[in-house]
Amino acid sequence: MTARRPGFPARIAPAPRGAPPVRGTAGGPTGARTAPWPAAAPPTGVGLDSAAVRERMLARLAAAGLASARVLGAMRAVERHRFVDSALANQAYEDTSLPIGLGQTISKPSVVARMAELLLDAPGARAGGLGRVLEIGTGCGYQAAVLSCLAQEVYSIERLRGLHERARANLRPLRLANVHLLLGDGMLGFPAGAPYAGILVAAGGAALPPAWCEQLGVGGRLVAPIADAAGVQSLQVVDRTAQGFTHTILEAVHFVPLKSGLG
């Protein structure tokens, strides 16, 4: 019997210890839906032309090496200033992380774009886009909104109730039917939605929790910051094939620490 998918938003309970992993191939129908983005209204109290500054942001991303037209389109569609405090709106399209409360940050646009492009470049990725994607660490909801343009379904887990509620408030006006927000311990993943075509992690830990690899579908890709013994984080890409897992370590990054439990 197929597990019932949660509505928007949802809360998840921790999985019981020793629960068997979900098996199968990377999930989701072929082809990604384009998110039903509303026509952008002129920003109020921002003091900038968001369309023009987004184009400048895209030009910088392209000049830095971002080649995916799909990711560039998603970054163009999602208005980053909607996800930061109004006092920081003038910095929304700069390539910098910004505080979003509770000691957390919204990632740099270049990092969001880089991780999304890595998911799309997975050997098992379909030409039409990703199937189901799991995001660990919703934060303010910006990255989930970007992923909604690239994937058939997005499940995004946040452990901090305050940020979960903030993401709900940020995303509710956009009415993204393919985004499911979950309050829970991201280190456990979300087995009811597995297997996933992609898993994207927005917090850095010392190791990959086993649940993530178990929930990654065959042909799927996981992108996460992993810290070495000295605490230096690097992006790690994990591809799952029928023969097992391959790990690739990429450039240095800096994310907030990965933590378990609810807060």
The catalytic residues are 107
Ramachandran class of 60: left when φ > 0, alpha when ψ lies in -120 to 50, beta otherwise: alpha
Q: How far apart are the first and last CA of the chain?
A: 33
Cβ-Cβ contacts under 8 Å for 263 (sequence gap 6 or more): 102, 159, 160, 161
* Token duo for residue 197: 């075509």
Parallel, antiparallel, or unpaired: how do β-strands 104-106 and 244-253 relate?
unpaired
Nearest to 148 by CA among 123, 124, 170: 170
Residue type, 21: P
- Between CA 34 and CA 152 the distance in angstroms is 8
Structure token digits, residue 148: 């909604």
| Contact criterion met (CB below 8 Å) for 220 and 124 | yes
H-helix or E-strand containing 65? none
The C-alpha atoms of residue 82 and residue 139 are separated, in whole angstroms, by 13
Measure the CA–CA gap between 224 and 236, rounded to whole angstroms.
5
**What amino acid is encoded at 230 in this protein?**
A
Beta bridge partners of 182: 10, 157
Beta bridge partners of 153: 132
